[in-house]
Chains A and B, each alone.
Chain A
Amino acid sequence: QQQVKQSPQSLIVQKGGISIINCAYENTAFDYFPWYQQFPGKGPALLIAIRPDVSEKKEGRFTISFNKSAKQFSLHIMDSQPGDSATYFCAAISGNTPLVFGKGTRLSVIA
């Protein structure tokens, strides 16, 4: 059973556009929701994260929107750049249990 469902599987966005990746979860015990960015040949790296007591968190061009009642959260990348082309993973965690990851979204930003 997949605990965190991520969509879309792949995404192509024009340079300067907005990239949106969505995730949904079922386990209401999850209390921390990070996003990871992975470039080819590298391990995932923490990009931005949110706790369920806030509805939005922004860091530069990256924003997480969180809807606790719908059990959904999303990553928005504003003014997308070719350098943002990577695979993005949403994840969730409860207490000290290991992170549970979505299946990933491959983002391509084209000029």
Chain B
Amino acid sequence: GAGVSQSPSNKVTEKGKDVELRCDPISGHTALYWYRQSLGQGLEFLIYFQGNSAPDKSGLPSDRFSAERTGGSVSTLTIQRTQQEDSAVYLCASSLGGQPYGYTFGSGTRLTVV
């Protein structure tokens, strides 16, 4: 597609359950980023994939969070044993590798943990 696609757009889950969030980047974009947007907190970096390099996981808030990127394309962010503080909008972006400009964001997945 022409843009970054994220699914689901909304997810309500019970505390303690695991969730998977999906991101389909723009075709040909080698860099993929996950950010978390909480109310009043801006965009918090989570993890970054660049080509075949080891991902930069420095932003992951706890070991309950993990992400993978298969075949250099689709990425899945997994949150295990969800907590209420995990409620936020999770945004995915992609860009041409090595280019700081041209981050294209998806519309995000709004996660609500009840």
A residues contacting B by CB (< 8 A) are 6, 9, 31-32, 34, 41-46, 49, 89, 93, 95-104
Contacts and interface: CB of A to CB of B under 8 A. Distances in A.
Q: How large is the interface on B (under 10, 10 to 19, 20 to 34, 35 or more residues)?
A: 20 to 34
A44 B105 contact: yes
B1 interface: no
A43 B42 contact: no
Given A41-B107, A43-B4, A43-B108, A103 B101 contact: no
**Interface of chain B, helix or strand or loop or mixed?**
loop
Contacts of A93: 100
A39 B92 CA distance: 16
Most buried by B among A34, A98, A99, A102: A98
Contacts of B35: 101
A93 B93 CA distance: 15
Interface string B40-59: 11110100101000001001
Contacts of A97: 56
